[in-house]
């Protein structure tokens, strides 16, 4: 994977497969501290201490259709290559919080890539799950919360083409305002 | 471009409600883009985005796009499954945005299976 937006999609898909009803994605670009932080929080099934120990092992997976589990190892590697790290907090039955940090100006930091299509893929592809997307760039902030959208549209499905078009517009507009550099 | 507001969302809701009352059918087609690590690394996100844009452009509210995890055929990714109501599912392999556009226009809208891209017909059994 060559873009951080793809890693975010991959980890959030893990959250959904773990039964999460709400997934929060927080991206924080702090130019003053030269720090990029990506947080993914979910209320899925969580992991045991034993499972947490093995998450960075590419030959460990809970899946039965294949013998490798590359999602977290690839993100951990991307973070380490850019002078950062990956931390994971999880409790069985409560959910998981993943934090990846990167030196913002590091030559080997992967570009963010297209975060709009990551969010649209998650929202359209998992219409029963709520997503909270927060993106901060220094003192500028943008938040998208599908729970608020759902409240307004009532019985219209969130993955209806017109709603997806609206969400695409809102994210693009929000990102134009906060001017992300990652 | 004018700023998008909650009022815009309310207008969309009213428009969709009017359309829904004119139509009795629900979802005719389900398209699953397999979104495991292998799929994403092979370009599944671009395939999904192309699909969403085609659905938007065609106003095809009877087509639902969804994602699923890896089904174990990582070397054939990106994989897309098209399920049309009362027909056997068709699995397409090695997809990309151009192939997705073709499958959308020719198979999903016109009903012609795009044989050169087909991996399998029918549902997989996961043991």
pLDDT tens track for B93-112: 999 999 999 999 999 999 99
The verdict on a CB contact (< 8 Å) between B9 and A161 is no
Q: Would you say residue B68 lies in a domain?
A: yes
The DSSP code for B105 is I
pLDDT at B37: 92
How many angstroms separate the Cα of B1 from the Cα of each of A26, B4, B38?
Answer: 27, 9, 38
Give dist(CA A138, CA A174) in Å, integer: 14
Q: Of A9, A13, A165, which has the smallest distance from its Cβ to B56's Cβ?
A: A165
* pLDDT above 90 for B66: yes
Q: Where are the domains of chain A?
A: 4-177
pLDDT at B126: 52
pLDDT at A95: 93
C-alpha A12 chain-centroid distance: 5
> Best residue in A2, A13, A75 to probe B by mutation, most B CBs within 10 Å?
A13
Give dist(CA A126, CA A117) in Å, integer: 14
Q: Would you say residue B95 lies in a domain?
A: yes
- Sorting pLDDT into bands at 50, 70 and 90, what band is B89? very high
pLDDT at B35: 94
Residues sharing a CB contact under 8 Å with residue B100, sequence separation 6 or more, in sequence order: B47, B50, B51, B54, B80
pLDDT at A103: 97
* pLDDT above 90 for B6: no
Q: Would you say residue B103 lies in a domain?
A: yes
Nearest CA in chain A to B47: A121
Mapped onto helix, strand or coil, the DSSP state of residue A150 is helix
Q: How many CB pairs under 8 A join A and B?
A: 113
* pLDDT above 60 for B79: yes
pLDDT at B108: 96
Give dist(CA B35, CA B43) in Å, integer: 9
pTM (two decimals): 0.90
What range defines the domain where residue B66 resides? Answer: 30-121
Q: Would you say residue B1 lies in a domain?
A: no
Question: What pLDDT digit, counting tens, does each position of A95-121 carry?
Answer: 999 999 999 999 999 999 999 999 999
Token readout for A112 is 């963010």
pLDDT at B21: 59
**Residues B8-24: what's their mean pLDDT?**
77
Query: Into which CATH architecture does domain A4-177 fall?
Result: 2-Layer Sandwich (3.30)
Q: Of A5, A63, A152, which has the smallest distance from its Cβ to B13's Cβ?
A: A152
Is the Cβ of B25 closer than 8 Å to some Cβ of chain A? no
| Average pLDDT, rounded, for chain B | 89
Residue B77 sits in a domain whose CATH number is: 3.40.30.10
The verdict on a CB contact (< 8 Å) between B12 and A153 is yes
Give dist(CA B66, CA B111) in Å, integer: 20
Radius of gyration of chain A (CA): 16
Give the closest residue to A114 by CA, choosing from A22, A15, A9: A9
pLDDT at A121: 97
pLDDT at A29: 96
Q: Would you say residue B8 lies in a domain?
A: no
Q: Give the orientation angle of helix A71-81 with respect to helix A4-17, to 10 degrees.
A: 150
pLDDT lower than 70: segments of chain A: 64-68
pLDDT at B124: 64
Q: Would you say residue B37 lies in a domain?
A: yes
Instruction: Report the number of distinct structural domains present in chain B.
Output: 1
What's the ipTM? 0.88
pLDDT at A49: 83
Give dist(CA A96, CA A12) in Å, integer: 11
Is the N-terminal amide bond of A180 cis, ω within 30° of 0? no
Q: Would you say residue B2 lies in a domain?
A: no
pLDDT at B125: 58
Q: Would you say residue B21 lies in a domain?
A: no
Residue carrying structure tokens 């990106």: B78
- Sorting pLDDT into bands at 50, 70 and 90, what band is B39? very high
- Percent of chain B predicted with pLDDT > 70: 91
The verdict on a CB contact (< 8 Å) between B69 and A17 is yes
């Amino acid at each position: 994977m060559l873009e951080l937006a793809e890693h975010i999609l991959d980890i959030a898909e893990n959250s959904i497969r773990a039964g999460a009803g709400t997934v929060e994605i927080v991206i924080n670009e702090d130019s003053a501290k030269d720090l990029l932080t990506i947080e993914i929080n979910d209320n899925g099934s969580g992991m045991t201490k034993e499972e947490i120990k093995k998450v960075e092992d590419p030959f460990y997976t809970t899946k039965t259709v294949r013998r490798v589990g590359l999602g977290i190892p690839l993100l951990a590697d991307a973070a380490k290559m850019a002078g950062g790290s990956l931390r994971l907090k999880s409790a069985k039955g409560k959910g998981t919080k993943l934090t990846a940090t990167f030196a913002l100006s590091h030559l080997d930091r992967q570009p963010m890539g297209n975060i709009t299509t990551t969010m649209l893929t998650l929202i359209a592809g998992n219409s029963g799950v709520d997503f909270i997307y927060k993106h901060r760039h220094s003192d500028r902030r943008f938040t998208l919360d599908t729970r608020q959208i759902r409240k307004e549209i009532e019985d219209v499905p969130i993955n209806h083409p017109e709603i997806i078009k609206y969400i695409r517009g809102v994210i693009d507009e929000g990102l134009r305002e906060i001017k992300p550099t990652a | 471009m004018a700023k998008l507001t909650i009022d815009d969302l309310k207008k969309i809701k009213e428009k969709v409600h009017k359309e829904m009352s004119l139509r009795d059918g629900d979802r005719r087609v389900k398209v699953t883009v397999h979104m495991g690590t292998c799929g994403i690394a092979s370009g599944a996100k671009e395939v999904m985005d192309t699909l969403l844009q085609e659905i938007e452009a065609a106003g095809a509210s009877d087509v639902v796009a969804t994602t699923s995890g890896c089904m174990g055929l990582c070397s054939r990714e990106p994989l897309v499954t098209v399920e049309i109501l009362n027909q056997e599912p068709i699995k397409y392999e090695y997809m990309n945005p151009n192939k997705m556009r073709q499958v959308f226009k020719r198979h999903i809208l016109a009903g012609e299976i795009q044989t050169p891209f087909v991996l399998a017909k029918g549902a997989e059994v996961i043991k």
